[in-house]
């Protein structure tokens, strides 16, 4: 029997609670970093998490870890810090090299268990790092922030929240009800917005309503970015713009000062700047502010493994965004550390 087997058996026999106080190094319920890493790698290697939504994948991974370590998995996992109090670690499942630690600094007294996923979404390795070791990988020491919101009345259906653009936008951009004929099908989505070459917010809403009931390709449950690309392609086409292009920055459809959000869940991630911020947006130029941008929040649902149906669309100015959406209070922003993992991080143990 290995050292890991002995610890797991003790935890199981004595029904050690996952949410008990952290086990001390002298406790028979304590896994050293080395033993913990070896056990997780040996017993989880090849376990599949394929086809699971991200939240479900996280829960299943937690259940697998509990089973391997001898703990009884709860029906729902508490939002404690750390998530696994008795063995004193947080758990991350990584398919990329960008580790995101939400709403907290790296805790030097905590451990971090990181499971690596292969291209088929099977577990290939596990790493166990002390807080000190993880902190050495955090080269920026900077928490980036993300605003979030939720619609006040989720059953309200499609809606144009404001019938006109902001005064600044109207004065600066002179938006039109239809694009000039010479721009139809030729205006690049990543070009700067130009006066008289942008649609009014009402015209955008009228056109986007044509997407309600339509289906778009779903590239996979975990492929959030690619789902967004599929929607933006449809948006560009229905607005009469040129071929889809993406600069990878705010707003998604730059030439129309339009940010597009695809929602399969109620929580809307708004990025690093709140929509109603009266701060000049360098991305838009011409003296426009973030609150002058337009937002299209597109609600959809998965109808089969490869397709999404668009159910409703809400269009709003940034300035009036929180007339329709409730800003998350308390911790107004979700903050994250983004830590780049070394290319050889998931080495063979």
Quick: pLDDT tens for 22-50: 988 889 999 988 899 999 999 999 999 99
Band of pLDDT at residue 325, cut at 50, 70 and 90: very high
- Kindly tell me if the per-residue pLDDT of 330 is higher than 60: no
pLDDT-above-90 percentage for the chain: 63
* CA proximity to 39, closest of 90, 113, 132: 113
* CA proximity to 53, closest of 197, 193, 221: 221
Is 49 contained in some domain? Answer: yes
- 171 and 117 assigned to the same domain: no
- 130 and 211 assigned to the same domain: no
Is 257 contained in some domain? Answer: yes
Q: Largest Cα–Cα distance in the chain? A: 77
Band of pLDDT at residue 256, cut at 50, 70 and 90: very high
Q: Which two tokens stand for residue 157?
A: 């259906």
Residue tagged 């935890």 (tokens) = 11
Is 160 contained in some domain? Answer: yes
Full domain range(s) for residue 87: 3-138
Look at residues 138, 163, 181 and tell me which one is the last residue of a structural domain: 138
- 69 and 94 assigned to the same domain: yes
C-beta separation of 39 from 8 below 8 A? yes
pLDDT-above-70 percentage for the chain: 92
- 165 and 296 assigned to the same domain: yes
Is 341 contained in some domain? Answer: no
Structural domain tally of the chain?
2
150: Cβ contacts below 8 Å, ≥ 6 apart = 266, 267, 268, 325, 326, 328
- Kindly tell me if the per-residue pLDDT of 334 is higher than 60: no
Q: What is the pLDDT of residues 146-199, one digit of tens each?
A: 788 999 999 999 999 999 999 999 999 999 999 999 999 999 999 999 999 999
pLDDT for position 169: 97
pLDDT for position 228: 86
CA distances to 53, 88, 115, 142, 317 from 61, rounded to whole Å, are 12, 16, 9, 28, 40
Query: Which of 36-40, 139-143, 228-232, 330-334 shows the highest mean pLDDT?
Result: 36-40
Q: If you write DSSP's letter for every residue of 167-222 in order, what string do you get?
A: HHHHHHH--BSS--GGGTTT--TTSPP-TTSSB-HHHHHHHHGGGTT-EEE---TT
- 10 and 81 assigned to the same domain: yes
CA distances to 103, 109, 112, 132, 289 from 81, rounded to whole Å, are 11, 11, 12, 17, 38
Q: What is the pLDDT of residues 94-132, one digit of tens each?
A: 888 778 776 567 777 789 999 999 889 999 999 998 887
Is 347 contained in some domain? Answer: no
- Kindly tell me if the per-residue pLDDT of 336 is higher than 80: no
- 133 and 152 assigned to the same domain: no
pLDDT for position 54: 80
- 183 and 101 assigned to the same domain: no
CA atoms within 13 A on the CB side of 133: 13
Region 238-259 average pLDDT: 90
Is 259 contained in some domain? Answer: yes
pLDDT for position 270: 87
pLDDT for position 140: 63
Whether cis (ω within 30° of 0) applies to the bond prior to 82 is yes
- 213 and 177 assigned to the same domain: yes
C-alpha dihedral over 199, 204, 206, 207, to 10 degrees? 100
DSSP for residue 72: P
Residue 23 phi, psi dihedral angles, 5° rounding = -70, 135
CA distances to 57, 218, 306, 346 from 118, rounded to whole Å, are 14, 21, 21, 10
C-alpha to C-alpha distance for 331 and 335, rounded to whole angstroms = 9
- 166 and 84 assigned to the same domain: no
Q: From the CB of residue 142, how many other CB atoms can be counted at a distance below 10 Å?
A: 11
Residue tagged 């089973």 (tokens) = 67
Look at residues 111, 138, 165 and tell me which one is the last residue of a structural domain: 138
pLDDT for position 165: 98
- 121 and 168 assigned to the same domain: no
Look at residues 112, 138, 164 and tell me which one is the last residue of a structural domain: 138
Band of pLDDT at residue 298, cut at 50, 70 and 90: very high
- 158 and 223 assigned to the same domain: yes
C-alpha to C-alpha distance for 155 and 317, rounded to whole angstroms = 20
Is 311 contained in some domain? Answer: yes
Tell me which of 272 and 241 has the higher pLDDT: 241
Chain mean pLDDT for the chain = 89
Is 249 contained in some domain? Answer: yes
Under DSSP, is residue 229 helix (H, G, I), strand (E, B) or coil?
Answer: helix
Band of pLDDT at residue 139, cut at 50, 70 and 90: low
C-alpha to C-alpha distance for 69 and 220, rounded to whole angstroms = 31
C-alpha to C-alpha distance for 71 and 75, rounded to whole angstroms = 12
C-alpha to C-alpha distance for 24 and 26, rounded to whole angstroms = 5
Region 223-239 average pLDDT: 88
Band of pLDDT at residue 348, cut at 50, 70 and 90: very low
- 89 and 45 assigned to the same domain: yes
């Amino acid at each position: 029997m290995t050292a890991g087997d002995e610890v797991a058996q003790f935890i199981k026999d004595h029904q050690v609670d996952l949410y008990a106080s952290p086990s001390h190094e002298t406790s028979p319920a304590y896994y050293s970093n080395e033993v913990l890493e070896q056990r997780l790698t040996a017993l989880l290697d090849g376990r599949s998490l394929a086809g699971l939504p991200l939240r479900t994948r996280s829960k299943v991974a937690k259940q697998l870890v509990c089973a391997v370590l001898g703990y009884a998995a709860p029906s729902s996992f508490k939002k404690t810090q750390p998530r696994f109090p008795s063995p004193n670690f947080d758990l991350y499942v990584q398919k990329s090299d960008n580790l995101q630690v939400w709403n907290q600094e790296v805790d030097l007294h905590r451990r971090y268990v990181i499971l690596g996923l292969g291209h088929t979404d099977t577990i290939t390795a596990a790493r166990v790092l002390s807080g000190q070791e993880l902190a050495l990988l955090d080269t920026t020491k900077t928490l980036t922030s993300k605003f979030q919101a939720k619609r006040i009345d989720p059953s309200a259906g499609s809606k144009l929240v404001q019938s006109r653009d902001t005064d600044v936008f109207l004065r600066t951009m002179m938006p039109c009800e239809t694009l000039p004929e010479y721009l139809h099908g030729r205006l690049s989505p990543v070009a700067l917005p130009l006066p008289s070459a942008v649609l009014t917010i009402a015209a955008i809403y009228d056109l986007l309503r044509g997407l309600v009931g339509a289906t778009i390709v779903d590239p996979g449950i975990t492929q959030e970015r690619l789902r967004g690309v599929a929607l933006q392609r449809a948006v560009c086409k229905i607005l009469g713009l040129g071929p889809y292009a993406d600069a990878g920055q705010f707003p998604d459809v730059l030439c129309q000062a339009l940010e597009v959000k695809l929602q399969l869940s109620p929580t809307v991630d708004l990025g690093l700047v709140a929509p109603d911020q009266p701060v000049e947006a360098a991305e838009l130029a011409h003296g426009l502010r973030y609150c002058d941008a337009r937002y299209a929040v597109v609600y959809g649902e998965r109808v089969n493994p490869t397709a999404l149906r668009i159910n409703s669309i809400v269009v709003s100015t940034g300035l009036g965004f929180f007339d329709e959406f409730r800003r998350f209070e308390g911790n107004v922003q979700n903050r994250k550390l983004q830590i780049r993992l070394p290319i050889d991080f998931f080495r063979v143990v």
